[in-house]
């Protein structure tokens, strides 16, 4: 059963009745399906009746913000409501031969869009967890307060992090200025693991499911390596457009602590060992 506003939208825009729906797997938070219409046009519909009322609005906002010239492809947003978002069906094809170098250059182009402050127009979500995006001039303060400290306190309240773990996190936070180079606030996807890097119907790079904000570009690259790094050609091509500070991969654990804390909060203690390992490393 499709949400009533979706049926109304398809009818009002002359796509004709729905002829078939096909469920898609792989979603960690919501359910996805491809909608086939009599017109021949297909759509991607994501639904979830248990999420906050603004979650899909924030996703739509992120997709629209990330659609910069010469950046990665993103699906067009057609309609969204409290429990659904209707998107363009990118119909992913096999990646083209130069997919990874092209992706690297396109992501660097996206990251070259900068702001005067860190944050975003609204708070949004990283997975199902609220992501706080209060505008902040200082990148260290932004990452410390709205990324690490926020997730750490949430984990502590859930009984997932001990008081000693929190003390270690505070110590790491105080060391951020000595461990991470100064970087401008870059427009980033915010949750760019391999599952959110796909292709469009022509095999070109595309990205989905953002947690968009202006943050550290190195943090984005760190996320690409958290669950299996992208090929080396991606990073080489990225640096053709946007050179990075030396030894940037050595800083990945610092950035990925945010995502590991988030996974701890969403999925439970299976991620505690990785979190504690990073805390011990920088204590």
> What is the per-residue DSSP string for 257-268?
HHHHHHHHHHH-
CATH superfamily of domain region 4-88: Phosphorylase Kinase; domain 1 (3.30.200.20)
Quick one: pLDDT at residue 47? Answer: 96
C-alpha span between 140 and 189 (Å, rounded): 19
Helix (H, G, I), strand (E, B) or coil at 239: helix
**Nearest in space to 26 (alpha carbons), one of 92, 94, 98:** 92
CB 176 within 8 A of CB 216: no
* Residue 118 per-residue DSSP state: B
Number of H helices, E strands in the chain: 10, 11
Strand partners, 23: 33
Helix (H, G, I), strand (E, B) or coil at 216: coil
Quick one: pLDDT at residue 16? Answer: 87
* Residue 147 per-residue DSSP state: I
C-alpha span between 43 and 35 (Å, rounded): 5
User: Do strands 84-88 and 42-47 pair parallel, antiparallel, or not at all (unpaired)?
Assistant: antiparallel
C-alpha span between 1 and 4 (Å, rounded): 9
Element containing residue 174 per DSSP (H, E): helix 163-179
E strands, 82-121, are: 84-88
C-alpha span between 181 and 113 (Å, rounded): 19
CB 240 within 8 A of CB 107: no
Residue from 102, 191, 200, 209 carrying the catalytic annotation: 191
Stated pTM of the model = 0.96
Quick one: pLDDT at residue 21? Answer: 96
| The residue to which tokens 């490393």 are assigned | 281
Give the gyration radius of the chain's Cα atoms: 19
Q: How do the domains of the chain map onto residue ranges? A: 4-88, 99-282
C-alpha span between 194 and 214 (Å, rounded): 20
**Nearest in space to 174 (alpha carbons), one of 136, 145, 151, 214:** 145
Quick one: pLDDT at residue 75? Answer: 98
Pick the CATH number of 99-282 from 3.30.300.30, 3.90.1200.10, 2.40.50.180, 3.30.420.10: 3.90.1200.10
CB 57 within 8 A of CB 70: no
Strand partners, 275: none
C-alpha span between 186 and 173 (Å, rounded): 21
Q: Which two tokens stand for residue 34?
A: 């491809």
Q: Both ends of the chain: CA-CA distance in Å? A: 52
Q: pLDDT tens, 132-164?
A: 999 999 999 999 999 999 999 999 999 999 999
Does the annotation count 191 as an active-site position?
yes
Query: Which stretches of the chain drop beneath a pLDDT of 70?
Result: 26-28
Helix axes 217-224, 252-267, angle to 10 degrees: 60
C-alpha span between 228 and 174 (Å, rounded): 29
Quick one: pLDDT at residue 29? Answer: 77
């Amino acid at each position: 059963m499709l949400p009533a506003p979706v049926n109304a939208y398809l009818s009002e825009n002359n796509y004709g009745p729905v002829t078939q729906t096909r469920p898609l797997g792989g979603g960690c938070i919501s359910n996805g399906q491809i909608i086939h219409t009599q017109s021949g046009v297909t759509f991607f519909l994501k639904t979830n009746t248990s999420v906050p009322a603004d979650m899909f609005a924030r996703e739509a906002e992120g997709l629209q913000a990330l659609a910069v010239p010469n950046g990665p492809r993103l699906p067009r947003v057609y309609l969204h409501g409290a429990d659904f978002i209707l998107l363009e069906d990118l119909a992913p094809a096999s990646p083209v031969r130069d997919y990874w170098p092209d992706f690297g250059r396109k992501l660097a182009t996206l990251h070259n869009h900068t702001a005067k402050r860190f944050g975003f127009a609204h708070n949004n979500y990283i997975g199902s967890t609220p992501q706080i995006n209060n505008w902040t001039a200082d990148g260290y303060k932004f990452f410390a307060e709205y990324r690490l400290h926020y997730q750490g306190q949430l984990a502590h309240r859930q009984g997932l992090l001990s008081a000693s773990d929190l003390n270690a996190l505070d110590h790491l936070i105080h060391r951020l200025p000595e461990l991470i180079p100064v970087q401008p606030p870059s427009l980033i996807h915010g949750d760019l693991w391999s599952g959110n890097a796909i292709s469009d119907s022509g095999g070109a790079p595309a990205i989905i499911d953002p947690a968009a904000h202006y943050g550290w570009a190195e943090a984005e690259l760190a996320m690409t390596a958290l669950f299996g790094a992208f090929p080396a050609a991606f990073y080489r091509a990225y640096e053709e457009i946007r050179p990075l500070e030396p030894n940037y991969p050595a800083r990945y654990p610092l950035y990925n602590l945010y995502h590991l804390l988030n996974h701890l909060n969403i999925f439970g203690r299976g991620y505690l060992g990785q979190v504690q390992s990073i805390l011990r490393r920088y204590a």
